Amino acid sequence: MIEHQPFNELGGANHGWLDAKHHFSFANYYDPARMNWGALRVWNDDTIASNTGFPPHDHADMEIITYVREGAISHQDSLGNKGRTEAGDVQVMSAGTGIRHAEYNLESETTRIFQIWIQPERRGLPPAWGAKPFPKDERSGQFVALASGFEEDSEALPIRAQARVLGASLKKGQSTTLSLPAEHLAYLVPATGRVAVNGLELNARDGAAIHNETKLEIQALEDAELVLVETAQ
């Protein structure tokens, strides 16, 4: 079954410097029917104005994956890590026992990101951070693991959850398939473009909550960039 979550029905708030849309309950947006999807707790679609960002704040016991759609995001944290993640690439912060960090758009252009929070399988572990560029041609026409807690995804950034974040890009008219274990859940968002997933049409930034589906057939109705979270519930 695939449940369509249209972009124009998402929760959210516009703070001026930040225009945030929430696929699940977050901050002042609360919907008891939209609390999580398995271990997936947060999927925020954030538009961040130039030379603004999130000042230092704390996290604990959460896997936080940032997928940069446009522009770049600059990170610094209480462990001394610093990094700049560009469009199409990913950073992962395992908050563990606690970490304080800040994220800023230091670019001259608007930055757009997906920020994805996944509940960890184990709590109380030391915090960690990592980032990695992913060659765009590797995910052309197929899904590639960007962050994962599954051993077989050895090239992905590690997370502490039985889940993975996948990325793919499709040209108009191109198709790809993805197999899922019957007990797994998935959540798919086209970052750009319009696609059909098992016949259901999704516009850019719509969400698709997927369960009891063992095979996804995805056809690009326009050039599209896809991000999908698969979780073992």
Q: Which residues pair with 72 in a beta bridge?
A: 86
Number of helices and strands in the chain (H, E): 0, 22
pLDDT along the chain (233 residues), means of 10: 97 96 96 96 98 97 97 97 95 97 98 98 94 83 96 96 97 97 97 98 98 98 97 88
Note whether 92 and 122 are within 8 A (CB): no
Note whether 114 and 45 are within 8 A (CB): yes
Q: Which domains does the chain have, with CATH numbers?
A: 2-231 (2.60.120.10)
Note whether 185 and 233 are within 8 A (CB): yes
Note whether 130 and 99 are within 8 A (CB): no
Q: Which residues pair with 120 in a beta bridge?
A: none
Give me the residue label for tokens 């060659």: 135
Torsion 186-189-191-193 (CA) sign = positive
Q: Say what the pLDDT of residue 52 is.
A: 98
- Cβ neighbors of 8 (< 8 A, separation 6 or more) are none
Q: Say what the pLDDT of residue 134 is.
A: 82
Phi, psi angle pair for 105, to nearest 5°: -90, 100
How far does Cα 3 stand from its chain's mean position?
18
Note whether 189 and 169 are within 8 A (CB): no
Q: Say what the pLDDT of residue 139 is.
A: 85
Dist CA 50 CA 29 (whole Å): 25
